[in-house]
Structure 1
Amino acid sequence: MPLWHIYCPKEAYSDTEKQDLATRISDAYAKFGLPRFYVSVIFHDVEQGSFYIGGEPVKDFVRIWVDHIARRMEPAHRGWWMKQVKEIVTPFIGSKSFRWEAHVDDTPIEFWSIQGLKPPPEGSDAEKKWFAENKASAY
C-alpha cells in the first residue's frame, strides 16, 4: 500500500487530470511488481481560505503526503524515490505554476491489512496471484 494524499486548491485539477495522475502513480508502483490495487490516491480539494503557510493563505500550493507500507524503502534508495515522485508529479504541478512539497512516511508492514488479510510476502506466489488478479484473496 502506498497511499497518496494530494492536498490541492479546489478545482486545481479536472476529473480527467486526477484520473491521469492517479494512473501515473499506480503505473510507477506496478513497474516494481506491486499489485495495482495496493495503490490509493486521494485528492483533498482545499477551499480558498483553508490552506495557510506561515500564517498566510495560499491558493497556489500542492502538498503531497505519501504513506509507504507494502515495501520498506532502503536508505540508499530514498533519494532515488524522491526523484521519482518529482518525475511523477511535475507534469501536473509545473504546468499550473503551483508551488509544492512532498514527504513520504515509511510505515511498518505489521500495521497493514487488506480485507482483513495480512498481505503475502514480497515476491511470493500468493503476491504474484494478487498482482495478476488485481485483488486480495486468501492464501
Structure 2
Amino acid sequence: MDTVKAFKVYHTSHKKDVNETMRAEAVADGQPPLPSAEVVFKILSQNSSKTTFLKNAGIATPSSKSPLAGEEALHEGLGTERQDSAVLHQELEELKKKSEENDEALARTQRQYDELKKQQKDSNRILSQLLT
C-alpha cells in the first residue's frame, strides 16, 4: 500500500487533500513530485514534533541531513555542467592556439607577398632601363 494511501486510511485530518496539494505545489514549482513518505512526513511534522506513524509503518523517514532527490539531481547537473564547461574551455584554448597559428601564417604570407611585389617592381624598373 502506498504511504499516502495508508496515511489517508489511518489518519483523520480536517485538511482534506493536503497531500495532493503538496505534491502539486512541488510540480508547479518545477520540481519532481515529492515521494509519498516525504509528503506524509511533512504533514505529520506540521501537526506534531514527534511522529511515529512512518516508523510504525516500517517506512524510513526522510532525514533532514540526507539530500533530497531534487538536490541530488541538481548536484549531478552541476557536475555535468562543470565537465561540459571544462571541455568547452579546452576546445576554446585549442581554437585560440589555431587562430594564433593562422594569424602567424597570414603575416608570413603577407611579408612574402610584399617582398615579391618589391622584387617585381625592381625587375620592372631594370627591364624598363634596359629597354630605353
Give the shorter-chain TM-score range: under 0.3
Q: Which has the higher helix share?
A: 2
TM-score by length of structure 2 reads 0.26
Asked which structure has the greater RCO (Cα within 8 Å, sep 6+), the reply is 1
Report which of the two structures shows the higher radius of gyration computed on alpha carbons. 2
Q: Which has the higher strand share?
A: 1
TM-score by length of structure 1 reads 0.25
